[in-house]
Structure 1
C-alpha cells in the first residue's frame, strides 16, 4: 500500500455501498484521521461559520441518490431493531422534513449535520456532529422541532401524534446522508427511481397491487402526451408512478432542449409553474391509506407539492365512506378528466362481490351471445363476482370527458379470452382504440414477482353522437397502432439488460455532456466525452414508432 501524498487532506474508503470519509489532521508528532459524514463541497470548507446553511448542496445523480436512500433505510432496519415497514415510515418522515426544510431560507434551515468547534492543544478543531454525543443531541433537537412544523404544514397527512423514534445515532446518520443533497434540483427521474426502490420492497399489498415498472409508465405518459392544461387522474395510484412521470413530462416540455435553468430565478419560476400545474390538474386516488401517503411523498419530491390525492375506493365512487370521497366528488366528478392512466389491481382471487357496487356497472351484468347471429347483448341481472380490472375499465371511461384519453394496464385475457368478448364489445362501442402494446412476462416478474402477461391498452372516449351514429350503422374504419415488446431492459431476476452485438459484446454509444466547473474563481464550461451502454428496452423504440404513426394518422373521433 503506497503512502498518501503529504498534501492530501481527505480520504474515502468504500466497498461499493458503505462510504467512510476521513479528514487528515497532521500534528507535530502524530497524524490523526477524523471521521466525516462527507467531504465539504467545493465552495465550502469545514469550520466555515455557516457551512451548514451557506454551503452549496450537491445535486444527486440517480445512482448516488438511490444508494443514499437504500443506505438510510437499511441502517434503520439493521440497527434500530425495526421491521422493514416501520423503518420505511420513519424514513418517510425524515424525507418530509428534508423537503420542507429546503423550502426555507438558507439561514433558517435545520436539516443538516454541522461541525462543533473544540479547543485542543491550543488549536481549534471542528468535530462532525454525526460522530459526537453533543452533536447528535443538537441534530435531534433541530429535527424534532422541524418535524413539528412539518406535521402542521401537512395536516391532511399527519394527525399530529406521529413521532420520530430513531436513536440519536441513526438520526444523525440519516441527516448527514441526506442533508448534503439538494432534493429540489435533483432530476425527477433520479428521485423517483430512488424512492420507488425503497417503496417497492415495503408497500406491496395483497390486493393485486402490482407496482408498474418505470419504463412502462414512461411509455404510457409519452403516448398519451398530457398537456399542461389537461386534468389527469390515476384512480388506483399506488405510489404515484404515473403522476410523477406526468410531472417529469411537463418539465421536459418546459425546458427547451432539456437544458437546465440558467439561474436561480429561472429555476424558482420553473418550480412554481410545476407546483401550480400539480395543484390544479393532477389527481390520484387509492383504497390503501398508506399508499396515498407514499404517493404524497413521491409527488412532494417531484413537484414540491403533494397534488390532489384522495383516500377512497374508486369502484364505489361517488359513494363510499372513506375520507377522500367528499372532496373527490367536488374536484373530479364523472366526465371531468382529460387523461386517465392506471394500473388497477387485478386477479380472479380478489373479485368484487358487493351487490351495491356491482349494480353500478354495465360490465358487471350478465351478457348473452346469440349462437346463431353471434350478437352479444345485455341480459337480465348481475354476476355474483367480477374481477376488479373489468370494472376499472368502465369506471375509467365514465371519468373521462368525451374525447378524453386513457392508458390502462390489463391482463392479456381480457383482450383475448373468448369468455371476455362482451368486455371487448363494450369497449369498442364506447371508445376508439388508439393503441395496444403487448408486454413480456419479465415486466412484472422483476418488480412484483408476478408471473402474468399484460398489455397496455390506449383508448379515447367517444362522444354520445359518435356512439349513436355507429348504433345506426355508420361505422368508421380507422388504423390502430399495435406493438409487441420482447425486452423491457431487465431479465426475470431484475438484472439490467444491455444491447449486444452479434459477437456477444455489449454495444456502446457516445455521450457528450457539458458541465460547469469553477476555475480560479470563475465558472467555465467543460465538455466531457464518454461511452455508455445501451439499455435493451423495446419500449423506447415503441414510443418513437407511435409518434411517427400519429404524424401519419390522426386520432379517430373529435
Structure 2
C-alpha cells in the first residue's frame, strides 16, 4: 500500500499535471507510466552493464552506451527547454523503436509526450526520480494507487493482485522454464512477471547472485541460458481489453527481462478470441495463473458458445474458469482466484462448473483467503482454485488462510501473523492418508464426500469446529461473591457519608 510521504508525493505530482493543463486521469496515468518506464529502462541498462562487466559476456544494450542522451540519468540533468526537446524528440521515438516488430512495439507505436510545459516536465522528472520505484513491489503499488484515482477503477472488477499472493500461487504451481504460461485477464502482467521472478531466483547459481546498490540480491538467472530463446519469445502470453493495462503490462515484462512477450488486446470470453488467436484459445498452455474480473459488463451474445455450452451463465467468474480449462493443455495446471460464491453457489451453472472441475478434471486444492486481501478496493471473500486439466479427482486439499502477513483493514499494514508459508509447506507435503484432521487449518476431503454435498467446495462445509468445555463456578459460590461485593460497596458509602458530614 502507498502511505505517508509517498502517497503525498504522488498526490502532489497528480496536482502538477492538473495545474499544467492535463486533467484526464487516464492521460495522467499514461504519462507518469512512460516517465517511470524511461527511468526503469535506464536502471535495467545500468544493471546489465554491471552484469556484463562481471561476467565478461557482451549484451545487446537498449542505448548507445553510458553517454546516450536518451538515458534518464543524462536527460534529467538538462535545463527545462533542453529536457523537453530531448524527451519529446528522442526518448519517445526511442520507445517506439524498442524491439521493433514485436507486440511491445504495437503498444508503444502511438506513445507520445503530452506534456507541453517545460516546467511541468522538470517537476514530473524530479518527483519520479525521487520515488522508490526500484524497491520491491513499489512499481505495482504505485500503479495501484494511480489506478485508484480513476473514477472507473474497480467497476469492472479490476484491481491488482497483491505481490505476496501472486508469489504464493506461482510457488504452488512451480512453473518450469520449458513451459508456456498465460493469463487471460492479465492487467499489468503481475502473474507473468511473478513467474519470471520465480524462475530467475530458482535458476540462479550461488555464483550468479549479485548484490545491488541497496544491498538487495540480484538474481542473474545464469542457469536459464539454455531456455533464453523460449523465455524471450514464446513463454509468456497475456490478454486484456484495457489498452492502458496492456501498455503497462508490456513495459513491466520488458523491464523484468522478457523482451518479446505475447500481449494482446482481446476480450478472451468473446467469440472472436478463437478466431483471432486459435492457437492460444484452445489447448495451448502448461500453466495459467489468473485473477479474472468478478463482475462488470458482459455481452452475453458475444460469449463463445464453447463456454456457454459447458456453463450456461452470464457470470464472468464462472465463464473464466471454463475458459481457462479450454485454454489449458491436457495435464496443464492453473491457480485461479475466484469469489467464494463459486464454491457454494446453488444455481445450475455453479453446480455444473464445480462438477466439471471434479468429475472431468483433477481439482487439487481450495485455498480459502481472508476477506481483506483486496482491501481497500474490494472486501470480497475469495479462494484460490488449483486444478489440472484432465485426469481424475480423488481427494481435494483444503487450507483455511486466516492471515496473509498484512492487516485485513484498509491500511493493510504488515503484521507478524502469516499463514501463507505454512500453507505452501503443507501443500507441498500433502498426504491424503495423513491430512485427515479437520479441526486444523488444512485437511483433505475424499471426492465421494464432495459429490455427496452437491459438489460444495466451501471449507466450512467440511471443517470441524473444536468446542472447548467451559467450567463455571457454582451458583452458590457466585452468590457469595456478589454478597461480598455488596458489603464492600455499603462500607464505601458509609465512609463517604462520614467524610461529608
Q: Matches of 2:115 and 2:127 in 1, distance apart? A: 18
Paired residue secondary structure (2:107):
coil
Answer yes or no: is 1:90 the counterpart of 2:31: yes
Which residue of structure 2 lines up, in the alignment, with residue 156 of structure 1? 106
For structure 2, the 5+ residue unaligned runs are: 46-61, 99-103, 435-443, 447-501
Q: 1:442 aligns with which of 368, 372, 376?
A: 372
SS across alignment from 2:168: helix
1:137-536 correspondence to structure 2 within 5 Å: 137-144=81-88, 145-153=90-98, 154-160=104-110, 162-178=112-128, 186=134, 189-202=137-150, 204-256=153-205, 260-261=209-210, 267=220, 277-303=231-257, 305=259, 307-316=261-270, 319=273, 326=276, 328-330=277-279, 332-347=280-295, 350-354=297-301, 357-358=304-305, 360-365=307-312, 385-419=313-347, 420-446=350-376, 448=377, 450-463=378-391, 477-478=394-395, 480-488=396-404, 489-499=406-416, 536=417
Question: Which whole-Å CA distance do the structure 1 matches of 2:390 and 2:425 have between them?
Answer: 26
- Quote the Cα distance in structure 2 between the aligned partners of 1:425 and 1:200: 37
Q: Taking structure 1 as reference, are residues 339 and 460 closer, same or farther at Cα in structure 2, changes over 3 Å only?
A: same
User: Which segments of 5 or more consecutive residues in structure 1 lack a partner in the other structure?
Assistant: 1-14, 19-65, 116-127, 366-384, 467-475, 500-535
Are the aligned partners of 1:336 and 1:400 in contact in 2 as well (CA < 8 Å)? Answer: yes
Q: 1 CA distance for matches of 2:16 and 2:351?
A: 51
Inter-CA distance 138–276: structure 2 relative to 1 (3 Å threshold): farther
Q: Distance in 2 between matches of 1:68 and 1:409?
A: 33
Say which structure is richer in strand.
Answer: 1
Distance 2:290 2:15 in 1: 30
Task: Specify which structure has the higher proportion of helix.
Answer: 2
Using the TM superposition, give the Cα deviation of residue 356 of structure 1 relative to its aligned residue in structure 2, in angstroms: 5.8
TM-score (norm 2): 0.69
Evaluate the alpha carbon distance shift between residue 241 and residue 155 of structure 1 in structure 2; reply closer, same or farther with a 3 A threshold: closer
Is the Cα contact below 8 Å between 2:38 and 2:71 reproduced in 1?
Answer: yes
Whether contact under 8 Å (1:237, 1:285) holds in the other structure is yes
SS of corresponding position for 2:91: helix
Q: Measure how far apart 1:199 and its partner are.
A: 4.0
What's the Cα RMSD here? 3.8
Taking a change above 3 Å as real, the CA distance of residues 258 and 83 of structure 1, as seen in their structure-2 partners, is: farther
Counterpart Cα distance in 2 of 1:337 and 1:498: 36
Deviations 1:74-113 (A, max 9, x none): 6435655524322111112223333455431212243346
SS in structure 2 of the partner of residue 340 of structure 1:
strand
Query: How far apart in 1 are the matches of 2:358 and 2:221?
Result: 45
Q: Does structure 2 conserve the Cα–Cα contact (< 8 Å) formed by 1:240 and 1:295?
A: yes
What's the counterpart of residue 17 of structure 1? 5
Deviations 1:319-347 (A, max 9, x none): 47xxxx63x335x2411200011111123
Pairwise CA distance, 1:400: 0.8
Q: 1:417 to 1:267 in 2, by over 3 A?
A: closer
3-state DSSP of counterpart to 1:198: helix
CA separation of 1:459/1:266 partners in 2, compared to 1, >3 Å: closer, same or farther? closer
Q: CA deviation at 1:457?
A: 0.5
TM-score (norm 1): 0.63
- CA distance in structure 1 between the aligned counterparts of 2:309 and 2:96, rounded to whole angstroms: 43
